[in-house]
Amino acid sequence: MDTNENPPENVGLENTSLPSVWDRQLAENSDFYKMAFQFQQIMMVYESAIKQLETKLDILNKENKVLGRRNPIETVKSRIKSPESIAKKLEKKKLPVTFQSMMANLTDIAGVRVICPYISDIYAVRDMLLKQPDIQLIEQNDYIESPKESGYRSLHLVIEIPVYLSETVHKVKVEIQLRTIAMDFWACLEHELRYKTTTKVPDSVRRELFRVAETIAMTDREMEEIAFELQAIE
């Protein structure tokens, strides 16, 4: 990563009594500490953005509980990309591996996954979040309406949320994935199978994974129809 991006100041290392080789070593260590500290500061801002989003989802959960409504959120998971993953993604995109490039070009450094019981809940949660004035929608990819070739289904949002520090405000991008329980089951197992094999996945296996994804999607729709029928009886 680039060390010339105005890292925080550190303690001076002037010591004329040390041999030049030690001066160079200390200078290199100083650059490393500055870079590590700056990376820690950046990740703290992304982690804070995730905490704010998790708090918003938790409040929506509690509101539904107090009002006696069915909860559209089953589970919330979050993660921060590792330094290795960030570097690999920048290299894959043929972009500079620097802090500035990372923040400007990657929208999924911070990620939140929301698992919902039914498909309609996914869109309900999306709408509740986007009504909040401090959340701005940057990008939306609806892989439920238009599944990926593999059969993958999920609603992806990239949102921007402000993080207020003692003296500064940072607008931070967070990727939100909204899925049903069934979609998440398929996606997690497909990801594990794809990344645990060192060989190219055979076409026969790809077709089988797609077939299972279609079966799960049909089950999702049928379960939601049953839920609607039961609600109508009550």
Domain count, the chain: 1
Inside any domain, residue 201:
no
CA dist 220 → 98, 158, 214 (Å): 42, 25, 10
Indicate which CATH number applies to the domain containing 62.
Answer: 3.30.460.10
Above 90 in pLDDT, residue 202? Answer: no
Inside any domain, residue 15:
no
Inside any domain, residue 91:
yes
Instruction: Answer yes or no: 139 catalytic.
Output: no
* pLDDT tens-digit series, residues 126-157: 999 999 999 999 999 999 999 999 999 999 99
- Percentage above 70 pLDDT, the chain: 85
| Predicted local confidence at residue 10, as pLDDT | 39
Both tokens assigned to 140: 């939306």
Confidence label for 158 from pLDDT (cuts 50, 70 and 90): very high
* pLDDT tens-digit series, residues 166-187: 999 999 999 999 999 999 999 9
Above 90 in pLDDT, residue 201? Answer: no
| Predicted local confidence at residue 20, as pLDDT | 61
CA dist 217 → 176, 204, 220 (Å): 20, 20, 5
* pLDDT tens-digit series, residues 10-67: 333 344 444 565 555 556 667 778 888 889 999 999 999 999 999 999 999 999 999 9
Inside any domain, residue 156:
yes
| Predicted local confidence at residue 198, as pLDDT | 64
Inside any domain, residue 76:
yes
Inside any domain, residue 165:
yes
Closest CA to 118 of 185, 72, 64, 150: 72
Q: Which residue in 175, 190, 222, 229 is the catalytic one?
A: 175
Comparing 173 with 232, which gets the higher pLDDT?
Answer: 173
Do 144 and 200 meet the contact criterion of CB atoms below 8 Å apart?
Answer: no
Inside any domain, residue 186:
no
Per mean pLDDT, which of 152-156, 186-190, 199-203, 218-222 is the most reliable? 152-156
Inside any domain, residue 227:
no
Taking the mean position of all CA atoms in its chain, how far away is CA 108? Answer: 5
Domain of residue 122: give its range. 20-180
| Predicted local confidence at residue 12, as pLDDT | 36
CA distance 129 to 177: 13
| Predicted local confidence at residue 233, as pLDDT | 77
